[in-house]
Amino acid sequence: MTDTTGTTDDHVDYLIVGAAFAGSLLAAEFARLGKTIFTDKFLPGTLMNCGGGLPVKVFEKLDVEIPFRNVSEGIMCINGMEHRFPCNYVVVDRSQLDAALCDKACAAGAVFKKLNYTGHDPAISTAFFIDGRKKKISMTYKKLILAYGLYPHKDPFSGKRRKPWPHGLAQVEILSGESTRPNSFHFDISPGLDPGYAWMFPMPDGRINIGAGSFRNSGLRKTMLSELKNRFDLKGAPLEKGGGVIPLTVTSRLQKGNVIIYGDAAGMVNPLNGEGLMHIAKFADRLVRAVSSGKNINIAWLTSNTFLYLLTASLVLKIINIGSSATRISLYPASCRLVASIRRQLPK
Ligand SMILES: Cc1cc2nc3c(=O)[nH]c(=O)nc-3n(C[C@H](O)[C@H](O)[C@H](O)COP(=O)(O)OP(=O)(O)OC[C@H]3O[C@@H](n4cnc5c(N)ncnc54)[C@H](O)[C@@H]3O)c2cc1C
């Protein structure tokens, strides 16, 4: 695609599309290496698409000053039985987290622009955008980083339609009030053949984050969230509602030419529980080091623990799905029970 109409900004070393978790995280790092612009169609912190749970160690490394809630226990409720295991996590308000990371990137020298990305032409290293007044803008780049979340039907490198990338769906609501499980992640695991989960997380500032996730793209089983609400007597109207897609497979290729994909765009989510922030944060340093030293990013990625972990998780999910259809026994709850008992044996 070639579209050279509209204004052209100066040449940018690192041009990042998406200023949510992945984009802002990378913008702060790339700003130290060269001229960095990061863009988003919304102001960072506008979207609510997360439970906001992440390990304490990962949160501390992000070095942002936002309210958080400590969580020391996970509970998986399967067929009415509770399986508990220790964990060392925090829950944050994801909107506050994205806004704080965006501020941090700007403080490091990156420039944020509110622009809607429409595509890029690798032959001329140019990306195309539309601003709030529908004006076309193009920018040339040394490296283009697409951290715009998962577009299941679009190949990020070519922009062309593709066979849908495997994905599930999740929805989230924020309610006012104190969780009856103030130090725990609570998960209801669907016992049926159509696996899914609902969660209740305590949030800072007297709020509760609830949601439900599925492993299919045709829609969520609505009863999961309403059953959770009924059981915990959560009657208040939601303060916020959101949701999004959950990638169920990780990509094996992060870079093609000067274009890099990152975050959900590259499927960096554990498909078994929808956890993405930890994995996105973990590989960020290595990605930036590989880019700055001219190393092959795809090899760094394929040999990383993050990739191997996510690949294993997606294979486990496939085995669970195939095994469940073959035996007509839901293997997801059994796997959750196994995970809970393994986590009980592990050091905290
Ligand atoms: C309901 C739900 C609950 C979750 N809970 C958790 C959890 O508790 N813990 C956890 O670790 N993970 C959780 N996840 C996963 C986690 O939210 C994702 O892994 C994470 O949001 C990915 O960050 P990202 O920056 O890659 O993408 P996104 O958060 O999707 O951000 C993409 C950004 O790109 C922007 N963008 C998109 N298109 C364009 C365009 N054309 N032009 C400009 N900008 C564009 C968007 O506006 C957005 O700001 C959850 C996911 C869902 C859906």
Residue 326 Cα, ligand 1 centroid: separation in angstroms? Answer: 34
Q: Which two tokens stand for residue 273?
A: 């529980």
* Closest approach atom of ligand 1 to CA 279: 11
* Closest approach atom of ligand 1 to CA 172: 1
Contact 148, 253 (CB under 8 A): no
Nearest to 203 by CA among 75, 87, 53, 103: 53
The per-residue pLDDT for range 208-252, each reduced to its tens digit, is 999 999 988 777 777 889 999 999 999 888 999 999 999 999 999
* Average pLDDT rounded to a whole number, residues 311-329: 92
Total length of the chain: 348
At 240 the pLDDT is 94
* Average pLDDT rounded to a whole number, residues 76-104: 96
Question: What mean pLDDT is reported for the chain?
Answer: 93
* Average pLDDT rounded to a whole number, residues 114-134: 96
* Average pLDDT rounded to a whole number, residues 89-94: 97
Atom 2 (ligand 1) nearest CA: 50
The per-residue pLDDT for range 161-220, each reduced to its tens digit, is 999 999 999 999 999 999 999 999 999 998 877 789 999 999 999 999 999 999 887 777
Residue 3 Cα, ligand 1 centroid: separation in angstroms? Answer: 28
Residue that has been written with the tokens 């399986």 in this structure: 83
The burial of 271, by beta-carbon neighbours within 10 Å (0-12 exposed, 13-18 middle, 19 or more buried), is given as: buried
Distance (Å, whole) CA 126 – CA 24: 21
- The amino acid present at 286, given as its one-letter code, is R
3-state secondary structure the chain: CCCCCCEECCCEEEEEECCCHHHHHHHHHHCCCCCEEEEECCCCCCCCCCCCEEEHHHHHHHCCCCCEEEEEEEEEEECCEEEEEEEEEEEECHHHHHHHHHHHHHHCCCEEEECEEEEEEHHHCEEEEECCCCCEEEEEEEEEEECCCCCCCECCCCCCECCCCCEEEEEEEEEECCCCCCCEEEEEECCCCCCEEEEEEEECCCEEEEEEEECCCCCCCCHHHHHHHHHCCCCCCCCEEEEEEEECCCCCCCEECCEEECHHHHCCCECCCCECHHHHHHHHHHHHHHHHCCCCHHHHHHCCHHHHHHHHHHHHHHHHHHHHHHHCCCHHHHHHHHHHHHHHHCCC
The per-residue pLDDT for range 291-304, each reduced to its tens digit, is 999 999 999 999 99
* Average pLDDT rounded to a whole number, residues 151-162: 96
Q: Cβ(45) to ligand 1 under 6 A?
A: no
Query: Nearest 5°: phi and psi at 193?
Result: -75, -15
Q: Cβ(277) to ligand 1 under 6 A?
A: yes
pTM for this entry? 0.95
* Closest approach atom of ligand 1 to CA 23: 25
The burial of 107, by beta-carbon neighbours within 10 Å (0-12 exposed, 13-18 middle, 19 or more buried), is given as: exposed
Distance (Å, whole) CA 65 – CA 137: 34
Residue 245 Cα, ligand 1 centroid: separation in angstroms? Answer: 8
Q: Binning pLDDT at 50, 70 and 90, where does residue 346 land?
A: confident
Pocket mutation for ligand 1, best pick of 15, 41, 215 (most atoms within 8 Å of C-beta): 41
Distance (Å, whole) CA 234 – CA 175: 8
Q: Binning pLDDT at 50, 70 and 90, where does residue 2 land?
A: very low
The per-residue pLDDT for range 3-55, each reduced to its tens digit, is 334 456 678 999 999 999 999 999 999 999 999 999 999 999 888 899 999 99
Atom 37 (ligand 1) nearest CA: 148
Q: Binning pLDDT at 50, 70 and 90, where does residue 130 land?
A: very high
* Closest approach atom of ligand 1 to CA 278: 11
Residue 264 Cα, ligand 1 centroid: separation in angstroms? Answer: 6
At 8 the pLDDT is 60
Q: Binning pLDDT at 50, 70 and 90, where does residue 343 land?
A: confident
Is residue 345 over pLDDT 90?
no
The per-residue pLDDT for range 305-315, each reduced to its tens digit, is 999 999 999 99
Q: Cβ(21) to ligand 1 under 6 A?
A: yes
Nearest to 232 by CA among 209, 257, 250, 255: 209
Q: Cβ(197) to ligand 1 under 6 A?
A: no
Residue 323 Cα, ligand 1 centroid: separation in angstroms? Answer: 30
194-221 residues labelled b (16+ CB within 10 A) or e (exposed) = ebbbbbbbbbbeebbbbbbbbbbeeebb
Q: Cβ(335) to ligand 1 under 6 A?
A: no
From the centroid of its chain, how far is CA 331?
A: 25
More confident residue, 80 or 21: 21
Nearest to 127 by CA among 233, 267, 298, 2: 2
Contact 12, 37 (CB under 8 A): yes
